[in-house]
Structure 1
Amino acid sequence: MAVDLLYNALIFLAAAVLIVPIFKWLGLGEVLGYLAAGVVIGPSMLALVPDTEGVLQFSQVGIVFLLFVIGLELKPARLKLMRKAVFGFGSLQVTITTLVLAIAAWWLGLAPTAALVVGFSLGLCSTPLVLHLLGERKELQTRHGRNAFALLLFQDMAAIPVLAIIPILGAGSLMADGMSPLLREFILGTGAFAGLIVSGRYLLRPLFRLAASTRSREVFAGTTLLVVIGAALLMDTAGLSMAMGAFIAGILLADSEYRHNIEADIEPFRGLLLGLFFMAVGMTAQLGLLAQQPHVILGLTLALLLAKGLSMVLAARLFGTGWKEASNLGVLLSQGGEFGFVVLTAAGSAALLDQGLVSLLVLVISLSMATTPVLLLIHVRWIRSLFEASKPKPVYDHPLDDSPQIILAGFGRFGQIMGRALQGLKIPYTVLDINADHVEFVRRYGNKVYFGDASRIDLLRAAGAGKARVLVVAVGDIEASMRIVEQAKRQFPHLRIFARARNRYHAHLLMRAGIHHIVRELLPASLEMTRDVLIELGIPREQAQHTIDTFRPHDEQALMRQLEVFGNEKKLIQTVQEAARELEALYEADEEVATTPPRHGNVPQERQDI
């Protein structure tokens, strides 16, 4: 048994490592790579892993961990703010999509009850797929990302009562036994839900406090797994969704001081098990069935994508979103989902649907999931831009020559600090910034800023560069900074130029251009923090300051030596290594002086402690 498990693990890892990077390199994303890897090792091709259904059931633990992590990110106050999107947009979309697909299924010959079940199951979307795609593109916090999450959350909740009703509908026991079975399921589910919330509210924090007091990372990680799996199994025992149980547990811990540690411990499990889930979905795809009925299955897949996409756009527009967001949601949520597998399987077991139809629809859902990353890629590259509102190109301002002493090129974080100091001293200055949105923003706070490119001679002259004494180049972009410096030096040689350097390379470029007043933006703050860290370690304040005072001139000298070998990487590396050895020697010499007793008098107490 152990050998079989290790063999299966080896197969899954090898398939993921060999196939997923290829899809990432092609720009198709991880999800499609995992699905393809599952198809390759599944029964449709190499048949390297025999128990496909078992793998699929186990891999759904990945969805449990995913929902737990999402719950951790959702504080109860934030969830309360989302209630309109969850219940308003969610119920609207589920109703429209279910009716459209159910009517289509009834028109194709299914009984009304069976058509309704098929419509609902195909209307569900894939939570892990959609959230993974949004996470890959860093769009979870966009408006369409938040609405997609709200919809998926409602769908997961809506699937729970449907799964409870299906056995009753299939057995025909609703008429015979009345509402008692349904009422019993409702009471059991409500009890489990309430029990999880109450126990989580009063037990979770003390439990994690106890785990943290052991100062054992393994114990803390074990406690996290205990909570996730325990909450999932509690809800599963009550006939509810395991993922929903983990989601609630995550929400209860969202305000906890242990949230970040918990998230760090659970992240590796979530990533691996989600990859396993997508591979398991790929393994369940019966490509033999596709070979037998290609036109039927591909036609149904295309029809499902179109029907769900258009239904999603309609629901989004009725909910009040714009066309751009509605189109994003239509493409992103056009596939079937993993809960569709569960609902269809339950309907087949309850004799509501024929097993052949269940297998066919499961394949359609799998194919729709596989096409979503490709459709999203096409949408992002070629279609999304069509919905962008064309903004008129802003026209540069014409600065007024107020006889400033100083011209500031760039008014970001760096320039604003200098501007506040100059304003406090009532020293006149003029600001040019090339970012129109930023100019509009800082103007709201009463700053006198002109929109314009400081590398343009006409704008510099209009801003008073001919009379000003100082030009401060506070632009972060290296190329733009050098253009401004070169133009200013050529046209206004009387200006004293002070420049901000992003890094040593930028500093070298400025030095080669003849600029001597240079401030590397991170150097002062880094040295100040280094001094504070040394003091925190117990080093006396005077010695910590002396360490920084030793470093600064040494670093300036090293910068000058590296300027001499600019462009020669081999000599540059050699110079950097020599500078590091010299700095170590300087500090060692300081340490020897500090620890050598003087010939006359007593050693100061601070020096004796070092």
Structure 2
Amino acid sequence: MAAEGGMTGQLVSMVTLLGAAVIAVPVFKRLGLGAVLGYLAGGLAIGPFGLKLVSDPQTILHVAELGVVMFLFVIGLEMNPTHLWGLRRQIFGLGSLQVVVCSALLTAVGVAFGYSWPVSFVAGAGFVLTSTAIVMQLLNERGDIATPRGQRIVSILLFEDLLIVPLLAVVAFLAPADAAHAATSPLWQRIGTALLALGALVAAGIWLLNPLFRVLARAKAREVMTAAALLVVLGAALLMELGGLSMAMGAFLAGVLLSESTFRHQLEADVEPFRGLLLGLFFLAVGMSLDLATVASHWPLVLGGTLALMATKAACIYAVARFAKSSRADAVDRAILMAQGGEFAFVLYAQALAQRVITPEVNANMTAIIVLSMAFTPLVVALHKRLARPAPESMEGVEPAHDLCGNVLIIGFGRVGQIVTQAALLRGADITIIDSDTTTIREANKYGFKVYFGDGARTDVLHAAGAHHARAIVVCIDDRAAATLIAETAKQQFPQAELIVRAYDREHALALVKTDADVVVRETFESALVLGHATAKALGASDDEADENLAELRRRDRERFTLEIAGGRFAGRDLVLRNGTETTAAPVEQAPAT
């Protein structure tokens, strides 16, 4: 019965945790505050300092740290050793500069609050260790991990993960003489163990992992491949833990060593569900760990310390970023994202407490400050996103449209525009291309295409791009409202040109008919017909039968489209489909009945 009661209690805790996530995260995302803050708020609500539905957040936190470990493994899979080597200056140069400057300033903040310099140093050093989980999740939500500014942040996080070992050594050095017995081994031995663990992991990654996965792939046991993926992640984390290093660092290195493996995508797919669930559990546990009693009894110190440390760290990060020649926008973004303390501070403070460098009261206050700073970060990020003015777009390498006179004007140089351009070039056309995305323009220039900057909805831009000379104006952008506005403007101002417009879907195509566009092409219609043609052949149809099916589909679609036009929205206009392309024809007095 006792075992049954224990199992029931565990099941209740699991249901409570999942329920908190399912309720809080969608609500906070709907409010524009992000998933991380939702997890933190949900954890605070059900934890021992909230509704007391879950009473042991520390145990959950230790298990949930595996979510951070798996996240770093997935990031490692995206970085091959060559790419990582290319980041070495950012990892050790930018990372060390930020850590040294921030440590000095944060130590000064502790001294200003009245603590001795050893206590201030340990408290400040813990706050220097940014939360990998918080920052990586926010970067992931924004899709910034693979961008240059995201890579710089990842580099600094990696350096801070490496920093936990020397910081633990410094704590042992600062310990009182009568606490020296707490150190289990001398410094040189711990450094040797760490290097041995790193060497063993690298050796296993080079000579063992790929042959292992080839053997498992030949066995064709899907569940065993999943088990092997988890074994690699957890095994690497355990090896680094035994070596006195960060578990997250071990998982990251394992990912890097497998980044060029043919099994990389399979590994990522196997780990992803566990990573997302455990990372969410980690944020819930952090929320549950916020001791409201400590915050309430020492609220001036905790709140003031949180704001002072976050402001000092943010100012330091901004200054270092600007010194390293980052743009103002990137420096502000990095400062806001990395202004909090991190999960590795808990490890540092626990060790400092065990060796009597800090008191239990300092440990409780600093732990509350770290958790509070982690909770504030998503809120500050969301507030900055709403209030900050967008940074001016760089026009470097971009030329505005001016005095052009091609006979074909293409507006938008994305996937569709690139293909249309090639078709026009095969006919020997004199092409002018404009786009409003500077990144697209710069990328196109690398491949020999001259694309000019300009908003196709503006009459002056169209004149500058030579629309009054054009025989055809082709609108290829994927923004429905913008495409409709461009079509209206171009048809009114440049009636001599054939107006050919890309439509997002059927509703958009109907709206474009109203603008008198000469040709309207739904972007998915032709590809869907080709897929249907291939499906008919797969079912045994001959080429002629498949072609007949295709013609019948075109006929039915043409009739439905004509009825929709005549049925109220655009009565008085007919639509003729030539080879699957919707083309507005002359007005008719009465729409066909079928």
Q: TM-score, normalized by length of structure 1? A: 0.82
Question: How far off its partner does 1:338 sit?
Answer: 0.7
Which residue does 1:507 correspond to in 2?
509
Question: How far off its partner does 1:466 sit?
Answer: 7.1
Q: Which of 231, 237, 241 is matched with 1:236 structurally?
A: 241
After superposition, the C-alpha distances for 1:70-128 in whole angstroms (9 at most, x for unaligned) are 11121111111111111001111111111222234345554444433222112211110
Q: Which of 551, 562, 565 is matched with 1:563 structurally?
A: 565
Which residue does 1:195 correspond to in 2?
200
After superposition, the C-alpha distances for 1:47-76 in whole angstroms (9 at most, x for unaligned) are 222223222222211111111111112111
1:76 aligned onto 2:71 = no
After superposition, residues 163-312 of structure 1 pair within 5 angstroms as 163-164=168-169, 166-167=171-172, 169-170=174-175, 172=177, 181-312=186-317
**Matched residue pairs, number?**
563
CA contact 2:405–2:469 (8 Å) conserved in 1: no
Which residue does 1:103 correspond to in 2?
108
Helix, strand or coil for the counterpart of 2:555?
helix
Structure 1 stretch displaced more, 49-58 or 110-119: 110-119
Q: Which of 361, 364, 369 is matched with 1:364 structurally?
A: 369
1:435 aligned onto 2:436 = yes
CA contact 1:126–1:336 (8 Å) conserved in 2: yes
Q: Which runs of 5+ in 1 are unaligned?
A: 569-610
Which residue does 2:360 correspond to in 1?
355
CA contact 1:337–1:369 (8 Å) conserved in 2: yes
CA separation of 1:44 and 1:521: change in aligned 2, threshold 3 A: closer
Q: 1:253 is aligned with what amino acid?
A: L
Q: What is the distance in 1 between the residues matched to 2:104 and 2:175? A: 20
Helix, strand or coil for the counterpart of 1:335?
coil
Q: 1:431 is aligned with what amino acid?
A: T
Q: 2:337 is aligned with what amino acid?
A: L
Which residue does 1:154 correspond to in 2?
159
CA contact 1:324–1:388 (8 Å) conserved in 2: no
Which residue does 2:41 correspond to in 1?
36
Q: What is the distance in 1 between the residues matched to 2:516 and 2:207? A: 67
Structure 1 stretch displaced more, 442-451 or 17-26: 442-451
Question: How far off its partner does 1:285 sit?
Answer: 1.5
Q: Which of 110, 127, 140 is matched with 1:135 structurally?
A: 140
CA separation of 1:401 and 1:150: change in aligned 2, threshold 3 A: closer
After superposition, residues 383-462 of structure 1 pair within 5 angstroms as 383=388, 385=390, 388=392, 397=401, 399=403, 404=407, 408=410, 412-427=414-429, 429=430, 431=432, 433=434, 435=436, 437=438
Q: What is the distance in 2 between the residues matched to 1:97 and 1:460? A: 52
CA separation of 1:378 and 1:191: change in aligned 2, threshold 3 A: same
Q: What is the distance in 1 between the residues matched to 2:508 and 2:225? A: 46
- State the Cα RMSD in Å: 3.5
CA contact 1:328–1:384 (8 Å) conserved in 2: no
CA separation of 1:36 and 1:519: change in aligned 2, threshold 3 A: closer
Which residue does 2:550 correspond to in 1?
548
CA contact 2:129–2:345 (8 Å) conserved in 1: yes
After superposition, the C-alpha distances for 1:339-385 in whole angstroms (9 at most, x for unaligned) are 11110011101111111111111111111111111112222222353
Q: What is the distance in 1 between the residues matched to 2:560 and 2:236? A: 59
Helix, strand or coil for the counterpart of 1:60?
helix
Which residue does 2:339 correspond to in 1?
334
After superposition, the C-alpha distances for 1:163-185 in whole angstroms (9 at most, x for unaligned) are 25534653749999999721221
Which residue does 2:521 correspond to in 1?
519
CA contact 1:410–1:431 (8 Å) conserved in 2: no
CA separation of 1:554 and 1:177: change in aligned 2, threshold 3 A: closer
Which residue does 2:583 correspond to in 1?
none
Structure 1 stretch displaced more, 268-277 or 86-95: 268-277
Q: What is the distance in 2 between the residues matched to 1:172 and 1:539? A: 88
Q: 1:25 is aligned with what amino acid?
A: R
Which residue does 1:585 correspond to in 2?
none
Helix, strand or coil for the counterpart of 2:20?
helix
Q: 1:39 is aligned with what amino acid?
A: L
CA separation of 1:552 and 1:390: change in aligned 2, threshold 3 A: closer
After superposition, the C-alpha distances for 1:489-516 in whole angstroms (9 at most, x for unaligned) are 5566665544433322233234455556
Which residue does 2:586 correspond to in 1?
none
Structure 1 stretch displaced more, 280-289 or 114-123: 114-123
Question: How far off its partner does 1:426 sit?
Answer: 3.4
CA contact 1:308–1:334 (8 Å) conserved in 2: yes
Structure 1 stretch displaced more, 23-32 or 479-488: 479-488
Q: What is the distance in 1 between the residues matched to 2:188 and 2:453? A: 67
CA separation of 1:70 and 1:409: change in aligned 2, threshold 3 A: closer
Helix, strand or coil for the counterpart of 2:21?
helix
Q: What is the distance in 2 between the residues matched to 1:104 and 1:473? A: 58
Which residue does 1:573 correspond to in 2?
none
Q: 1:154 is aligned with what amino acid?
A: F
CA contact 1:411–1:431 (8 Å) conserved in 2: no
Helix, strand or coil for the counterpart of 1:139?
coil
Q: What is the distance in 2 between the residues matched to 1:145 and 1:346? A: 31
Q: 1:435 is aligned with what amino acid?
A: S
Helix, strand or coil for the counterpart of 2:428?
coil
Q: 2:331 is aligned with what amino acid?
A: A
After superposition, the C-alpha distances for 1:432-466 in whole angstroms (9 at most, x for unaligned) are 63637466876787767776666667777787777
CA contact 1:188–1:238 (8 Å) conserved in 2: yes
Q: What is the distance in 1 between the residues matched to 2:46 and 2:191? A: 41
CA contact 1:144–1:328 (8 Å) conserved in 2: no
Structure 1 stretch displaced more, 41-50 or 88-97: 41-50
Q: 1:307 is aligned with what amino acid?
A: T
CA separation of 1:273 and 1:420: change in aligned 2, threshold 3 A: closer
CA contact 2:405–2:470 (8 Å) conserved in 1: no
1:11 aligned onto 2:12 = no
**Percent identity over paired residues:** 38
Q: What is the distance in 1 between the residues matched to 2:450 and 2:110? A: 65
CA separation of 1:354 and 1:522: change in aligned 2, threshold 3 A: same
After superposition, the C-alpha distances for 1:534-586 in whole angstroms (9 at most, x for unaligned) are 66787655554554344333433333334344669xxxxxxxxxxxxxxxxxx
1:378 aligned onto 2:383 = yes
1:48 aligned onto 2:53 = yes
CA separation of 1:542 and 1:196: change in aligned 2, threshold 3 A: farther
Q: 1:21 is aligned with what amino acid?
A: P
CA contact 1:164–1:239 (8 Å) conserved in 2: no
Which residue does 1:597 correspond to in 2?
none
Q: TM-score, normalized by length of structure 2? A: 0.84
Q: 2:309 is aligned with what amino acid?
A: L
CA contact 1:168–1:174 (8 Å) conserved in 2: no
Q: 2:33 is aligned with what amino acid?
A: L
Helix, strand or coil for the counterpart of 2:175?
helix
CA separation of 1:143 and 1:2: change in aligned 2, threshold 3 A: same
CA contact 2:501–2:519 (8 Å) conserved in 1: yes
Q: Which of 20, 24, 32 is matched with 2:29 structurally?
A: 24
